[in-house]
Amino acid sequence: MRFDNGRESSNIEDRRGQQAPRRGLGGRGRIGLGTIVLALVAMYFGVDPSVVLNGAGVMNPPAQETSRPRISSGPGADDTARFVSMVLADTEDTWRAVFSAGGRRYQEPRLVLFSGATQSACGLGQAAMGPFYCPADGKIYLDLNFFNELRDRFRAPGDFAQAYVIAHEVGHHVQNQLGVSAKVQEARQRLSEREANRLSVKLELQADCLAGVWAHHADRSRQVLEAGDVEEALAAAAATGDDHLQKQARGYAVPDSFTHGTAAQRAQWFRTGLNAGTLRACDTFSVATR
């Protein structure tokens, strides 16, 4: 990607090196060990952890933590963190323009860099969950070590694979801004687990498509893409498909438990957004996904 001289976002909250407040286990108003495990599993498979935490009556307020609103570009600066900041800034420029063209105002998300664990308005966020978006506070949470896992475990290296991950989470923020997330969450409460999972798949595939829409506009206006970049993003999308992850973890896949979509679906919808560059192209809810 051509981001050497890109603008850095002012919406970076750097909590790396800070220890998340410790919570007791069990008891009223505290997070039990079983609840933590359920929340981790839910997050891993794409379910909003607040559903688990709210159900247990243990939603915790976000911790009071200091933040560095901007990452220095001086000597010794963290190159990966700067790259994240520049990608976030580029998504801000793109979605601000897209929303403006549709007569809307885009409210930028904040991206929290953390190490190990941190508090969010959706509960305790841990590195094992991978990157996630919390609609309750409008923040994206990212432990940069995930990019090592993306390269080593998922075999999806490259800077554009990393940019895709960020753009996907920003896609969830776009959905939140448009009211899509709230409608899906409300609908899921009335459905069976199987049907609720299907709605989650549609939501995640739309976020993949929205990541493609960002890439379309970023390249068209700023020529950021280089040879091989699209392939990197497609590899990352495919590597995190439910079928791939489940087969990797237990040797077989259970389609009714999918919450993100298959490898082929995720790659297909990213490419759809990339080719079309419009919100209209990302209506995953009007087409069959299974």
Q: Tens digits of per-residue pLDDT, 17-61?
A: 887 665 543 333 333 344 444 444 444 444 455 544 444 333 333
C-alpha 251/C-alpha 235 separation (Å) is 20
C-alpha 274/C-alpha 164 separation (Å) is 11
β-bridge mates for residue 111, sequence order: 12, 140
In the chain, which residues have pLDDT < 70? 4, 20-77, 289-290
User: Tell me, what's the pLDDT at 247?
Assistant: 87
The per-residue b/e assignment along 193-208, b for 16 or more CB within 10 angstroms, e otherwise, is: eeebbbbbbbbbbbbb
Q: Could you tell me the CA-to-CA distances from 96 to 111, 113, 143, 242 in Å, in that order?
A: 16, 23, 26, 31
The per-residue b/e assignment along 178-188, b for 16 or more CB within 10 angstroms, e otherwise, is: bebbeebbeeb
CB atoms within 10 A of CB 3: 20
Can you give the pTM of this predicted structure? 0.80
User: Tell me, what's the pLDDT at 198?
Assistant: 94
Contacts of 157 (CB under 8 A, 6+ apart): 150, 151, 232
Token readout for 116 is 């190990």
User: Tell me, what's the pLDDT at 146?
Assistant: 95
C-alpha 250/C-alpha 255 separation (Å) is 13
Domain ranges of the chain: 12-286
DSSP tag of 111? E
**Percentage of the chain surpassing pLDDT 90?**
59
DSSP H helices, 193-228, are: 193-222
**Where is 158: in which H helix or E strand?**
none
C-alpha 265/C-alpha 278 separation (Å) is 18
